Structure 1
Amino acid sequence: MSAAGSAPPPLPSKESASEQSFRRRRLSVADLDTSEFDDEPADEKSPNGTDSKRRIRRMSMSPEMGVVRKKSDLPFPLEIVGTYSCHGVEPGMRHGETSAKINQDRGAVCYPFADSDEIAMFSVFDGHGVCGDKVSHFAMNTLQAILEDHPLLTDKPAQALKHSYLQCDSLLKQEPTIDAELSGTTAVVTVMIGSKLFVANAGDSRAVLARRSPSGGVIALDLSEDQKPDTPAEMARIKKKKGFVSPPEEEWGGPARVWLDANMTLPGLAMARSIGDHLVTSIGVIAEPEVMEHELGRDDLFLIMASDGVWEFISSDEAVAICAPIVAQAGATEACTKLIERAAAKWREEEGDYRDDITAIVCKFPCLQQRPA
C-alpha cells in the first residue's frame, strides 16, 4: 500500500465513494519541483564535514519517463541497467480531469562506488507526507555519501548499511529546512560487492531477484520483506513501545497503520520502518533496516527494485514474468519501461483517475566493470 504520512480528514459527502476511497488511501502531495541530481564535485564534503578526495562517482538519478540521457552520463550501458520514475496523477476539479502529482519517489544508481569498480549501489526511495519529496531527496543523497565513507563497507557491509541508515535519519532530524515529523521515506538499497548482494530495506519498497529455474523458466526471489505495521514482529515492537496498530480497512482497502493513541488521531503511518516520521519514533517506528545477503550464481539473471507504485497491483512473480523476456531480448532499460507502463495501466484499471508515483530499477547480471563507451 502507498504510505500516506497521516490519515486525511473526513471528506465532503458530495464526493463519490471511489473519490473518497483513493483520498483516504493515498493522497500525499508536496509542493516542491523535482530537480535533477548533478554529479558531485571532486572536492565534495563528507556528511561529517571533512573533505573527501574520492574521484567523482557516476551517480545517476532515475529520470522521469520519456527523458533521454546521454550514454556518456550513465554509470552503466542502457542494456545492463535501466531506471525510470513516473510521477503520479490525481483527479482534477472536474469529472474526468487529472493533474500531475509532485513526484515523491527517488531512485539512483551509483557506480563505481567507494573508489572501486567492484562495488555498485542501487537505491529506491518512496517519500510520503507533505515534505515527502524533500525527505526522499535528502535520503538519496545523504545515504550514499555516508555509506561510501563507512569504514566497514567492505568488511561488514550489513553493519555498515544499518549504521548508515541510522546516521542518515539522525542527520535528517538536524536538517532545519525539512520537517520530518509527519513526513518520511521508504529506503531499499542494494550494494553489490563483487558477486555478493547486500539488500537493506526500511518500509515497503522492494528488491526482487529473477532466477532461472531447473525447468528452464524464470522465478522470483524476494530479497527484501515489506515491513507492514501488522507484521507480527513489527507490531510486537510497536505495541511494546505503547503504540497502536489498526488492521487493514476492508471497506475501502486501506492498509494497517501505526497510531500514537487509541483514538487513532495521528499519524496513521502505513509502515513500521522508515527514514523520517519522527513523531512516531518513540512508539517503535524505526529507521534501522533489515539486511539480506545473497551470493550471485550462474542462474541469477537480473534484479528489480521498485517503489510500491509497482508492487501495489503487481506481484514479484508477475514483475519478473513481465521483465524476463524483454531483458533477454532488448535489455534492462526496455524492461524497466515496460514494467512501469504495466504498473501504470493497473493503476488505471483499479483506481481510475488516481495513480501513485512509480519508480523502478532493472539490473541485468553480470554488470560490474561494464560502462558505456
Structure 2
Amino acid sequence: MLRACCWPLERCFRWPGAAAGGDGLLWHLDLKPHASGDFSIAVVQANSYLEDQGQVLTSPSATFVGVFDGHGGPEASRFVNNHLFPHLHKFASEQGGISAEVIRKAFDATEEEFLHLVKRSWLSRPQIASVGSCCLVGAIADDVLYVANLGDSRAVLGRRGPDGRAVVAERLSRDHNVSEEEVRKELAELHPDDSHIVVYNRGVWRIKGIIQVSRSIGDVYLKKPDFCRDPLFQQFVCPIPLKRPVMTAEPSIKTHKLGPQDLFLIFASDGLWEQLSDEDAVDIVFKNPRSGIARRLVRAALSEAAKKREMRYDDLKKIEKGTRRHIHDDITVIVIYLDHCRGASRSDGSILDCTNAPVDIFSLNAELGEPS
C-alpha cells in the first residue's frame, strides 16, 4: 500500500550553487509528479545544523507530505523523518487504509519510540531530553485530505474564489504556539494552580518561560517531570519545577474533502510564515509558474527577512549558517498541486496517468548534502 523506495537525494535536489543565483544554503526540487498533480520542494538552512526535515511520498493511489521542524538540536526532527512514515505505513496496512485514527497511532508510536531513545541514551547525552520537533503531516487518498499537526508549522490551501478568477487562502492546521491567545487560555485551564505556566520572556510568550510551542515530538523534560528533578540533567539544563507535563504529542487532525475548487496546498515550517502571510504565500503560488514555485516562496521569505534588517537579498546570501539564524529560521516549503487524478491535465498539457505511477519517497534526511 505504501511501499517506499528511497532515491538518492542528489536525484531529487539541486545542490548548492547549481541554480543560477544560488546562495550556497538553498536546495530545491523544482517539479515532480504525484498521484494527483505536481509537487515542488525548497529548503534553506539558517542554523549551524539544519533542524528542518521534509518528505514527500508518492504512490499510484496516495500522496504523503511531512514537514518536521526541530528545536534544541536536529536529533528529534531527524528521528521523526526516519520513523513516522514507516509507522503510518504499518497502521494503514493493518487497518485497510488511511484515517485520522491511523495518523494518530503513527504519531503516538513515533513519540513513544523517541522517548525510549532518550531513556537509553540520556545518561551519556543528557541534552537529548530537551530536544524536540514540530510535526506537520498531510495525506491525500481518494480525494480526501488529512492534515495532522504538532507545533507551529502550517498547511494552507489555495482554492478558487467565488468569482472563479481570484484565489482564497484557507488555513488547514492549527498553530500550537502560545503567541496565540487561544493556546494560552488552553494551558491556563489545564494548569489552574500554576500562575507561571505561560510567561512573557524575551519579547514573546513562552511555556514556563522556555518554549513557544505547546505540542511536539520529544521535549521529554517538559513531559516527564522526573527528568527535571534528576541532578545529572540539572547540570546541563536549568531546572524547571514541574507538577505535571506542560506539553503534549496529541496532534490536531483536520479532514477535508477535496473538490475542483481546491487548487494547491502549501506545507511549510514556521520560518516561512514568520515572513509571509497565508494570503501572500497563496497569491505567489497562484500567480507564478509551477516549476520552482517552492524556491520562489523561500526567496520571497528571505527577501522579506532581509528587508526587515534593512539589507538586500544579495547581502543576506553572504551570511554564513549559524549567524544567519539571527535574521531568519530554517525554512522548508512543499507545494502540492491538486489536479485530481482521473483524466486531469498536467501543467505541461499532458494527461496525468496515475495507474503506472512509481512509488517513491523524496526525503531531506540528516543534513543537506547527505543522501537519504
Q: Could you tell me how far 1:348 is from its partner in structure 2?
A: 1.6
Cα separation, 1, equivalents of 2:146 and 2:191: 30
Of 78, 95, 98, the match for 1:137: 78
TM-score with structure 1 length normalisation? 0.69
Is 1:80 the counterpart of 2:38? The answer is yes
The match for 2:330 is: 357
Q: Is the 8 A contact 1:274 1:285 kept in 2?
A: yes
Q: Could you tell me how far 1:54 is from its partner in structure 2?
A: 7.0
After superposition, the Cα gap between the structure-2 partners of 1:55 and 1:221, relative to the gap in structure 1 and judged at 3 Å, is closer
| SS of aligned partner of 2:136 | strand
Cα separation, 2, equivalents of 1:320 and 1:84: 16
Q: Could you tell me how far 1:288 is from its partner in structure 2?
A: 1.2
Aligned length: 288
After superposition, the Cα gap between the structure-2 partners of 1:168 and 1:345, relative to the gap in structure 1 and judged at 3 Å, is same
The match for 2:51 is: 104
Q: Is the 8 A contact 1:188 1:200 kept in 2?
A: yes
Q: Is the 8 A contact 1:80 1:367 kept in 2?
A: no
The match for 1:6 is: none
Deviations 1:140-162 (A, max 9, x none): 11000001110466556111111
After superposition, the Cα gap between the structure-2 partners of 1:243 and 1:367, relative to the gap in structure 1 and judged at 3 Å, is farther
Cα separation, 1, equivalents of 2:248 and 2:74: 19
Structure having greater relative contact order (Cα 8 Å, sep ≥ 6): 2
Is 1:158 the counterpart of 2:100? The answer is yes
Q: Could you tell me how far 1:350 is from its partner in structure 2?
A: 2.5
Residues 120-199 of structure 1 mapped to structure 2, 5 A cutoff = 120-129=63-72, 132-151=73-92, 154=96, 157-175=99-117, 176=120, 179-199=127-147
Is 1:200 the counterpart of 2:148? The answer is yes
Q: Could you tell me how far 1:355 is from its partner in structure 2?
A: 1.9
Cα separation, 1, equivalents of 2:195 and 2:132: 18
Q: Is the 8 A contact 1:237 1:284 kept in 2?
A: no
**Equivalent AA in structure 2 for residue 348 of structure 1:** A
After superposition, the Cα gap between the structure-2 partners of 1:319 and 1:198, relative to the gap in structure 1 and judged at 3 Å, is same
Unaligned runs of 5+ in 1: 1-52, 90-100
Is 1:343 the counterpart of 2:327? The answer is no
Cα separation, 1, equivalents of 2:28 and 2:275: 32
Cα separation, 2, equivalents of 1:138 and 1:279: 17
**Equivalent AA in structure 2 for residue 185 of structure 1:** S
CA RMSD of aligned residues (A): 3.2
Of 177, 187, 198, the match for 1:246: 198
Cα separation, 2, equivalents of 1:153 and 1:234: 33
Deviations 1:198-238 (A, max 9, x none): 00000000000000001220010001010123514532355
| SS of aligned partner of 2:197 | strand
Q: Could you tell me how far 1:74 is from its partner in structure 2?
A: 5.9
| SS of aligned partner of 1:145 | helix
TM-score with structure 2 length normalisation? 0.69
Q: Is the 8 A contact 1:120 1:192 kept in 2?
A: yes
**Equivalent AA in structure 2 for residue 87 of structure 1:** Q
Residues 319-330 of structure 1 mapped to structure 2, 5 A cutoff = 319-326=281-288, 330=289
Of 202, 209, 212, the match for 1:270: 212
Q: Is the 8 A contact 1:87 1:356 kept in 2?
A: yes
Percent identity, please.
Answer: 28
Is 1:305 the counterpart of 2:270? The answer is no
